[in-house]
């Protein structure tokens, strides 16, 4: 009888995370921050000396979310920061690939998201209205990334993502930094939001 395929990954914290049945006890913010700081968005097809990481993207999404919804609670802002947290172990797939892979990827992502949320005291399920608001901030981030570092013209990006309001993105720009710097900022931002709950 063949051995079942291994479904866990050893994390740098020493935890063994079962990817098919993750538990909140095996989730550590240091692992999330580290993983996301080394996962490139846009399949790494961006300009610059460093990849644009999912951690950097998540920090921008949380900032945009706060600008779009200034009365958002710390828990809502933390949910925005963690919106792509499962990608620390399953990577970032561009939308066309996610669509091709189908429901299995989505189910895996969902199980990890639930474990992450429970670990940090958030509702297991993100309420649909909050999910929609975070998606709006995520889409603004995608437009900025597309036009600043991914080689899209503003016309192309606007067709795909819509043009964001100038006041929402005013003073913001895409930052490309070493993963260690992004990891530290992500961890610090998480700690600040968690302490405000």
How many residues are listed for the chain in this entry? 197
As a whole number, mean pLDDT of residues 154-176 equals 97
What local confidence, expressed as pLDDT, does residue 5 receive?
A: 74
Instruction: Summarize the chain as % helix, strand, coil (round to 5).
Output: 60, 5, 35
- 97 within domain boundaries: yes
Find all residues with CB under 8 Å of 197, minimum gap 6, and list them. Answer: 74, 75, 78, 121
Number of domains within the chain: 1
With a cut of 90, say whether residue 1 has pLDDT above it: no
- 29 within domain boundaries: yes
Burial class (CB in 10 A: 0-12, 13-18, 19+), 139: middle
What local confidence, expressed as pLDDT, does residue 49 receive?
A: 94
Sign of the dihedral through C-alpha 78, 46, 88, 114: positive
Question: Where residue 142 falls among pLDDT bands split at 50, 70, 90?
Answer: very high
Tell me the two tokens of residue 45: 């097809």
What local confidence, expressed as pLDDT, does residue 13 receive?
A: 96
Q: What is the mean pLDDT of the chain?
A: 95
With a cut of 80, say whether residue 33 has pLDDT above it: yes
DSSP letter assigned to residue 89: H
What local confidence, expressed as pLDDT, does residue 4 receive?
A: 73
- 14 within domain boundaries: no
Model confidence, pTM: 0.95
CB 145 within 8 A of CB 174: yes
The boundaries of the domain holding residue 123 are 21-195
With a cut of 90, say whether residue 106 has pLDDT above it: no
Kindly report, residue by residue over 146-155, the tens digit of the pLDDT: 999 999 999 9
Burial class (CB in 10 A: 0-12, 13-18, 19+), 129: exposed
> What CATH number does the domain containing 165 carry?
1.10.3210.10
With a cut of 80, say whether residue 163 has pLDDT above it: yes
Where do the DSSP E strands lie in the chain?
8-10, 16-18
């Amino acid at each position: 009888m063949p051995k079942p395929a291994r479904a866990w990954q050893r994390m740098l914290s020493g935890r063994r995370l079962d990817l098919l049945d993750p538990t909140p006890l095996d989730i550590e913010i240091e692992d999330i921050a580290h993983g996301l700081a080394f996962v490139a968005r846009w399949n790494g097809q961006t300009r610059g000396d460093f990849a644009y990481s999912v951690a950097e993207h998540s920090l921008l999404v949380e900032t945009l979310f706060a600008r779009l919804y200034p009365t958002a609670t710390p828990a809502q802002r933390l949910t925005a920061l963690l919106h792509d947290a499962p990608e620390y172990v399953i990577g970032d797939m561009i939308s066309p690939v996610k669509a091709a892979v189908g429901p299995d990827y989505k189910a895996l992502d969902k199980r990890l998201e639930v474990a992450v949320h429970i670990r940090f005291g958030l509702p297991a399920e993100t309420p649909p209205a909050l999910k929609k608001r975070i998606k709006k901030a995520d889409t603004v981030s995608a437009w900025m990334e597309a036009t600043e570092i991914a080689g899209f013209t503003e016309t192309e990006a606007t067709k795909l993502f819509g043009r964001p309001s100038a006041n929402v993105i005013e003073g913001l720009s895409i930052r490309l930094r070493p993963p260690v710097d992004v990891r530290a900022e992500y961890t610090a931002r998480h700690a600040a939001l968690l302490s405000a709950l």
